[in-house]
Structure 1
């Protein structure tokens, strides 16, 4: 696990798009328009733009020299991204990445973390001690969740 770099953008894009396309069927129902909407900013240029954003801290997980997961936290205490490549699923990568991001938020003084989970990821976050707040409205249903990180 390490901070993401601009030269990682193509691999990060591959992971983000593959994760969304191949693992999030419950959220997009294989609807090409919904997939296009969700992945539209996940191109290499879109990832470079994310990397350049102030207050957006991106990390990657590598296995055998290849990026297999992408995560991000924000300056206001939110976990913004936690995506794993399909070939790395069920190997503890997402859990380790989430733990790393929770520790990052704690180290920056946050007592509670926040995130928005997809239908696909909601049970995963619940199993890691996150609690749902309410359903978010929008083009894609997301579930606001929170977790006490300290004390």
Structure 2
């Protein structure tokens, strides 16, 4: 099975939303600690309408990863280089889907002349981003009852 990454389409919003929500629920317990209030805060805007807005946002680039025509990942980054979303279906963790999403976002940003990507990583995703060349910018911050780690990856020489 080969991972395919392409630009997200409007018709991908529901499947991409399902990936995001299941990833948060099943993979991010280290962050939300199964606390109903934290989960509600994290999931309240993770709707198909929200994902559709990301896909249609002219200041963003959104991609989906699929295997056998099933969407198994979703990523989105703003023109500023801010990675706003990068989620993988729980069954596809550690199978290269996240790396494929991130690579597509990096390549698009480099071609657009962006010098670096930046994001706020969850505890769950921190090791993934470190493995993929991101570095912590400052100490972790608290947001919405959870820890976030501001991170950055230089893209100079790409594209």
User: What TM bracket, shorter-length normalisation?
Assistant: over 0.9
**Tell me, which stretches of 5 or more residues in structure 2 are unaligned?**
none
Instruction: For 1:52 and 1:107, locate their aligned partners in 2 and report how far apart those are by CA, in whole Å.
Output: 20
| TM-score, structure 2 normalization | 0.90
Aligned to 1:58: 62
Segments of 4+ moved more than 4 angstroms: none
| TM-score, structure 1 normalization | 0.94
- Measured against aligned partners, the alpha-carbon deviations of 1:8-31 in whole angstroms (never above 9, x if no partner) come to 111011100000000001110011
Q: What is the total number of aligned residue pairs between the two structures?
A: 151
How is 1:1-151 mapped onto 2 (pairs within 5 angstroms)? 1-134=5-138, 135-139=140-144, 140-151=146-157
- Measured against aligned partners, the alpha-carbon deviations of 1:94-151 in whole angstroms (never above 9, x if no partner) come to 0111111111111111122111110000011111111001222321321110111113
Q: Is the 8 A contact 2:63 2:104 kept in 1?
A: no
Query: What is the DSSP-based 3-state SS (H/G/I as helix, E as strand, rest coil) of the residue aligned with 2:39?
Result: helix
Instruction: Tell me the C-alpha RMSD between the 2 structures.
Output: 1.2
**Tell me, which stretches of 5 or more residues in structure 1 are unaligned?**
none
